Amino acid sequence: MTLCAAGVLLYDVIAVRAGHRAGAWRIRLAHELATRPVDDFWLLVAGAVAVILGLWLLILALTPGLRRLLPLRAPDDCADMGAWLDRKGAALVLRDAAMRVPGISGARVRVGRRRVTTRADVRFRDLATVRDDLTQALQDQCRQLAVAHTPRLAIRLRHRTR
């Protein structure tokens, strides 16, 4: 309903911009708004409805929605099926995969919509070797998670001696 009303209004505005005459409903509405007093009951009701709709749209714009969820890849035979994975859960699974790499003593993983950021502490082994093993482990685990869009990996390693 709202889409139809917005479409009619847009059509009328484009027609006026193109040099045609405004619709009779729009001319009558503009005349009514110009001649009614400000304290008219129906004008106050319309203003209250506009304020409530504006607040509702503002609340919808500020709420996160489904941003904390990662969409999963659907099987080929179930294209209309949808499933999601919580980002914190994915971060825990990826952290466990990082901790299984030899030489890593601690890891922190943050999963975004497009990137997985991993910070790991290396106690022993060469950093280049650990980076290669960690990249391989995280890529394998990301494939097993079956997210719809494979995230990029950002890996930061630091050598810890204590």
Q: Are 75 and 66 in contact (CB under 8 A)?
A: no
Q: What's the pLDDT at 106?
A: 93
Which pLDDT band holds residue 162 (cuts at 50, 70, 90)? low
Residue 64 DSSP SS3: coil
CA distances, 88 to each of 16, 80, 147, 160 (Å): 52, 25, 14, 26
100 or 124, which is more confident: 100
* Mean pLDDT to the nearest integer, 76-85: 77
**Count of helix runs (H) and strand runs (E) in the chain:** 5, 5
Q: Report the candidate in 134, 107, 101 with the shortest Cα–Cα distance to residue 120.
A: 107
Tokens of 75: 């099987």
Mean pLDDT score across all residues of the chain: 90
Tell me the range of 65-69, 74-78, 83-87, 114-118 where mean pLDDT is highest: 114-118
Least confident of 76-80, 114-118, 147-151, 157-161: 76-80
pLDDT tens-digit readout, 4-33: 988 988 999 999 999 999 889 889 988 988
pTM: 0.63
